[in-house]
Amino acid sequence: MKYPFVLTGLIILIHSALADSPSRLSMGGYGEAVYQRMFYSDNIQRYLYPENNRDASHGRFDLPHVVWFVAYDFGKGWKISSEIEFEHGGSGGAVEIEHEEGGEYETEIEKGGEVALEQFWIEKTFSDAAHLRVGHFIVPIGLTNQHHLPTEFFSVLRPEEESELLPCTWHQTGISFWGKTHNWGYEAQVISGLDAERFNNLNWIKDGAISPYEFEIANTLAGVLRVDNYSIAGLRLGMSGYFGYSAKNSLKWERYTNQKIEGELLIGAFDAVYSSHSLIVRANILYGHLFDAYAISMVNKRLPSAGPSPRTDVASDAVSAYAEVGYDIFHLLPKNNRTTGKCYLYGHYGFYDSMYKTAGNIQPKGYSRKTVISGGINYYPIDEVVLKAEYAFRKFNQPYNNEPTFSLGIAYSGFFEL
């Protein structure tokens, strides 16, 4: 009879020892489930013939992002982390309608687009101010790339002012050196440059980070720098920048270099977040310039149709800006009547233009400039779960039709240690 008691005692001792020891294994992730009703036509030619596409609507369910994360601390400053992302519930294959080819149906295999290894890195920590990370990681340009969890923005989907111009979430392979000291945080990265062959008129350089091959082209490298300041309680101010060469990062780069095209790319962004007294305010401003945009456009439009290039013009300059404000309306209730959780009533205003400036005789598309006005509710029953309802209004200049959308979403973001 004594053996069960001995075994029970050993289990209790082991559990107590593990509970008192530092945790080394971390797991978690985030995910989103979305329903949308778009009160506008989904006709592929709605921008070419706007007068014929006024009264139509369509709806959809989607799983925009489902991500699983695991990390392990080996001790002595060494740590590994990996993160796999499932986009739109897919597994890598999809039938798509090609906007640049008159609505033609094509079967696409999108490496990195539907199932992606978003992060995989090994890190050595020297101090709080000095961490060296090598592998595949997030590129922290702008607000959303740095803070892309669904509990970190009000809209049901990621703010389109950033996600329609930049890779989002932007992740690439390279070396990162980062740290925090006093009221400052910083990160400096060296990564592979973007692929000019993948640039296009509607999304500017967004697809330049998506490799259609079994490897990431790194004929030229790029530099990234981000600095954040936390001097004021509840307020974070951030600046980020990118510089790299894009022309030589295509598979057949001689098409560009034979014409002395380098395709230097400059991107600068400023973002700010204030969170205190039941109020959250977020803002982001982004500006980018692509050198040799006209020459790149001329080369891309002559590329073979069987290749991965969209074969459209690309602008020399793109711009976006937005701000959103949310207030926890539960804070207005008397203290003895307040319910658990938080409920933010919010408004959002922004604009973006993927063809803000063009080079040579390239004519900007009238529908490339969009104004986004939205508002809704974010209800947090607990900090890790949010239910969202949103009405968004995408406004165009004439003659294009505006695009209102009603969206519902539920999302979670959670991390725990074992």
Q: How many CB atoms lie within 10 A of CB 192?
A: 20
pLDDT at position 43 is 81
pLDDT at position 102 is 56
Containing structural domain, residue 270 = 2-417
Tokens describing residue 330: 């539960």
The CATH number of the domain holding residue 28 is 2.40.160.10
Q: What is the pLDDT along the chain (418 residues), one digit of tens a residue?
A: 444 444 444 444 444 444 445 668 999 999 999 999 999 988 878 888 787 666 678 999 999 999 999 999 999 999 999 999 998 876 655 556 555 555 565 666 554 447 888 999 999 999 999 999 999 999 999 999 999 999 999 999 999 999 999 999 999 999 999 999 999 999 999 999 999 999 999 999 999 998 888 888 999 999 999 999 999 999 999 999 999 999 999 888 899 988 999 999 999 999 999 999 999 999 999 999 999 999 999 999 998 887 788 999 999 999 999 999 999 999 998 877 667 899 999 999 999 999 999 999 999 998 999 999 999 999 999 999 999 999 999 999 888 989 999 999 999 999 887 6
Structural domain count of the chain? 1
Tokens describing residue 303: 């590329």
What's phi and psi for 15, nearest 5 deg?
-60, -40
Q: How far apart are CA 176 and CA 344, in angstroms?
A: 35
What's phi and psi for 101, nearest 5 deg?
-125, 40
pLDDT at position 19 is 47
Rg (CA), the chain: 24
Cα 344 to Cα 33, 136, 271, 377: the distances in Å are 19, 35, 21, 6
Beta strand ranges found along 110-170 (DSSP E): 115-127, 130-138
Q: Of 387, 328, 375, nearest to 350 (Cα)?
A: 375
